[in-house]
Amino acid sequence: MSVSDEQRSASPSEYAGANAHAFGPGRHLRSRSKVLPEHARGHNRALVLQTLYHSGAMSRADLSRETGLTRVTISDLVAEFIADGIVIEMGVREAVGPGKPPILIDIDRFGHQIVGLDLSGPDAFTGAVLSLDGDVLERREVPRPKSPDGEAAYAALRELAQTLVEASTQPLLGVGIGTPGVVRPDGLVLSSPNLGWTNFPLEAKLGVDLDLPVLARNDANAAVLAEYTFGEAKADFMLIKIGKGVGAGLITGSQPLLGSRFAAGEIGHVVVGTDGGPRCACGKDGCLEAWLSVSRLEAAIAADPEARDEILRDAGTRMAIATAPIVAALDLSEVVISGPAELLDGILIEAAIATLRARTLEGVFEDVVVRLTHQEDIVLRGAAVMVLSGQLGVS
Ligand SMILES: [Zn+2]
């Protein structure tokens, strides 16, 4: 019987407060860098927290078995985590053999919270206080500035963040932000035309203003992390986020793909086909975003309700034409779509599946899945994964 089986069969009273949440094993983002001796300690810390996060409460002996680290190393690390307030003892499990019943330990899931912010909405910046398991506990929003104005956008987001910090009821592990635009790994927004930011040090500035750790990423890159950690996604997939704009986040080999300009997944302004198409906000004709954004689909259907099916079929076809080379080049197993189900589920996704099949190598890519994500608040939850990953090495 595995450790997690034992936990499931134990009655709740046997270890008061033990968390019912346990995410599937092996959902961690893999590090491609080699573990050097001086990094081993940090690596071991992350490994222990990762194991506890996904498997739930367990004894030090279980943890040693699961991680392959010695009991002495586990004891030292756990003592350190307890002193830091990251891990707590949860009580004892009923003894199954002779000897002292083991004390169960777990990440202090109720002793910390995370603030997540989503700047991708058409009318409002939304935010939430989240649990370490990614559940939304409190929700707030502020109106989004009507026109691109970097200062006004920052003022609105800071106000939202401060309101949420005040609404939190436990010490905060950090603040995560998903924003439209191209974002460097250190949280500097290289370019976000809709918000009026160019080379804007979002992470550093808000970190000083809030006096908390802040992490900022592109909104689709945040969403893909949420799907990876909390959803059912595989090790190689892309998530296409369809809202005011269209963008994608990619995970390959269990690792976020950023690219040479940190712009991997910026597929919204790729022109699809050579036959023109709707005029895009960027000035070109037939960008993927011009076919597929929620506002474009809604406007086209409102203008000609009888053509609804055809409009959705065209959009799904164009999405797959743009996606097929990416699926083939990276050998992805899934394309996950995030956006309003009433528009995207059904005709649009069916057209995308048919087109993807028709445009990729027979016998190889036939099992590629195209589906809608089940997750709501995907950017907020992704922002929580950013903080978990950045602060604890957990994802
Ligand atoms: Zn465009």
Q: At what angle do helices 37-55 and 378-392 cross, to 10 degrees?
A: 140
Residues 6+ apart with CB under 8 A from 362: none
Ligand 1 geometric centre to CA of 372 (Å):
24
Question: Are the beta carbons of 188 and 177 closer than 8 angstroms?
Answer: no
pLDDT by residue (tens digit) across 214-233? 999 999 999 999 999 998 87
| Separation CA 61–CA 117 (nearest Å) | 38
Q: What is the pLDDT of residues 178-203, one digit of tens each?
A: 999 999 999 999 999 989 999 999 99
- Tell me, in angstroms, the distance from the centre of ligand 1 to residue 383's CA: 26
- Tell me the CA distances in angstroms from 162 to 201, 224, 245, 300, one per residue in order: 18, 26, 27, 39
Closest of 194, 241, 187 to residue 217, by C-alpha: 187
Token pair, residue 266, equals: 């910026």
**pLDDT one-digit tens code per residue, 310-326:** 999 999 999 999 999 99
Beta strands in 254-380 (DSSP E): 255-256, 334-338, 369-372
Distance 354 CA to ligand 1 centre (A): 25
Report the 10 Å Cβ neighbour count for 43. Answer: 14
Query: What residues pack around ion ligand 1 (CB closer than 5 A)?
Result: 269, 280, 282, 284, 287
pLDDT for residue 95: 65
pLDDT over 70 (residue 2): no
Q: Could you tell me the pTM of the whole model?
A: 0.86
Whole-number Å distance, alpha carbon 285 to ligand 1 midpoint, is 7
Asked whether the beta carbons of 257 and 248 are under 8 A apart, the reply is no
Rounded to the nearest angstrom, the distance between the alpha carbon of 172 and the centre of ligand 1 is 39
Strand order in the sheet with 103-107: 58-59, 103-107, 87-92
Position 28 scores a pLDDT of: 56
Strand 214-218 versus strand 246-252 pairing type = unpaired
- Kindly give the distance from the C-alpha atom of residue 267 to the centroid of ligand 1, in angstroms, as a whole number: 9
What is the per-residue pLDDT across 81-128, written as a single tens digit (0 to 9) for each?
999 889 999 988 776 677 778 899 999 988 999 999 999 998 999 999
**What is the C-alpha separation between 279 and 76, in angstroms, rounded?**
61
CB atoms within 10 A of CB 204: 14
Place of tokens 């808000």: 206
Residues 352, 249, 323: CA angle, nearest 5 degrees: 30
Mean pLDDT of 161-173: 97
CA of 279 from ligand 1 middle (Å) equals 8
Helix (H, G, I), strand (E, B) or coil at 254: coil
